[in-house]
């Protein structure tokens, strides 16, 4: 995907999250059910977490409620969501936030290495396979030895209910000819109307991306949503371990 088309998709999602940051954050008061299953895969002695695309800090709040008291760092492209995250996390948690464009090369530069990196419901919003592969590779490079990466992607095409949200690209004034095969435009209607860019990343594509990034899949499972399988969770670590 060329840079101009990618920027249009990024701008579409920027508008969405800036306009609907409050209702979006309000829809995520409770932790996703899949989070609890991730606890079994926390690295031993986990003392630092980087939440890539942390949004309103949902995963950080969950970790704090489960007793995590290490350093939590969150990055996101939406300053409004980062403000919400800072306000909602426990005051005594060592936390800090930065605005970053996750589709840009070097998105994690200067952040250090972490016991755990989480990228939950985020990779699906990065336009262009090459950019997604690069971000996954950079996340792997920022893991400490024996660190782990938690990834989740939205399996909306497997849900008839979610497929009803798909609308033609023309509604956003975009030409589908410049996009990639698994790119979709979906509506949001809770607390306001919005349009979001989402790419469908299934288990096979997740495995291909992981291999290219030098990562090994430790485990994967489906969870969340009314049907209990709306998100694909993947636990990864360096393939050389």
Tens digit of each residue's pLDDT (9 = 90 or more) over 168-182: 999 999 999 999 999
Tokens of 38: 């991730």
User: Which of 92-99's residues contact partners 24+ apart within 8 Å by CB, and which partners?
Assistant: 93/60, 93/64, 93/68, 93/69, 94/69, 94/70, 95/57, 95/60, 95/71, 96/72, 97/54, 97/73, 98/73, 98/74, 99/75
Q: Does the pLDDT of residue 130 top 70, yes or no?
A: yes
For residue 221, name the pLDDT band (cuts at 50, 70, 90).
very high
Burial bucket for residue 203 (CB in 10 Å: 0-12, 13-18, 19+)? middle
d(CA 60, CA 91) in angstroms, rounded, equals 12
pLDDT given at position 169: 95
The two structure tokens encoding residue 193: 């109307």
For the entire predicted model, the pTM comes to 0.94
Q: What is the mean pLDDT of residues 195-201?
A: 96
pLDDT at 19 (0 to 100): 85
**Bridge partner residues of 196 (DSSP):** 186
115 burial level (CB within 10 Å; 0-12, 13-18, 19+): buried
Tokens 């909306």 — which residue?
156
C-alpha dihedral (168, 173, 178, 180), degrees to nearest 10: -40
Q: What is the rounded average pLDDT of the residues 185-196? A: 91
Residue 165, Cα to own-chain centre: how many angstroms? 20
**pLDDT of res. 75:** 97
84-115 pLDDT, tens digit each? 899 999 999 999 999 999 999 999 999 999 99
Residue 78 has pLDDT above 90, yes or no: no
State the pLDDT at residue 241.
Answer: 63
Question: 5-60 pLDDT, tens per residue?
Answer: 999 999 999 898 888 777 776 767 688 999 999 999 999 999 999 999 999 999 99
142 pLDDT higher than 70: yes
Q: What is the mean pLDDT of residues 219-234?
A: 96
Q: Is the pLDDT of residue 157 over 70?
A: yes
- Give the Å distances, CA to CA, from 30 to 25, 27, 40, 53, 57: 10, 8, 19, 17, 11
Give how far the C-alpha of residue 7 lies from the chain's centroid of Cα atoms, to the nearest Å: 18
The pair of three-digit structure tokens given for residue 154, joined into one six-digit string: 């939205």
The confidence band for 190, taking pLDDT boundaries of 50, 70 and 90, is confident
> 163 and 186 in contact (C-beta within 8 Å)?
no
Cα–Cα distance, 29 to 240 (Å, whole number): 38
Per-residue model confidence (pLDDT) at position 149:
98
Residue 111 DSSP class: S
Which residues are 232's β-sheet partners? Answer: 153, 222
Distance from the first to the final alpha carbon of the chain: 33
Q: Average model confidence (pLDDT) for the chain?
A: 93
């Amino acid at each position: 995907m060329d840079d101009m088309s990618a920027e249009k998709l990024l701008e579409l999602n920027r508008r969405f999250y800036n306009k609907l940051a409050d209702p979006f954050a309000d829809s995520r008061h409770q932790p996703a059910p899949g989070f609890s299953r991730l606890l079994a895969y926390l690295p031993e002695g986990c003392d630092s977490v980087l939440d890539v695309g942390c949004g309103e800090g949902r995963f950080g709040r969950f970790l704090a409620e489960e007793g995590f008291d290490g350093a939590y760092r969150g990055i996101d492209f939406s300053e409004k969501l980062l403000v919400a995250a800072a306000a909602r996390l426990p005051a005594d948690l060592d936390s800090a936030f930065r605005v970053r464009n996750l589709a840009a090369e070097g998105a994690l530069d200067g952040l250090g290495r972490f016991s755990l990196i989480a990228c939950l419901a985020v990779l699906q919003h990065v336009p262009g396979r090459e950019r997604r592969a690069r971000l996954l590779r950079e996340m792997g490079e920022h893991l400490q030895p024996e660190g782990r990466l938690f990834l989740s992607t939205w399996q909306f095409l497997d849900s008839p209910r979610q497929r009803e949200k798909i609308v033609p690209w023309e509604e956003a004034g975009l030409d589908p000819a410049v996009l990639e095969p698994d790119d979709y435009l979906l509506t949001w209607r809770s607390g306001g109307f919005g349009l979001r860019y989402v790419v469908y990343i299934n288990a096979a594509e997740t495995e291909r991306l992981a291999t290219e990034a030098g990562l090994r899949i430790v485990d994967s499972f489906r969870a969340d949503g009314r049907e209990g399988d709306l998100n694909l969770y993947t636990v990864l670590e360096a393939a050389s371990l």
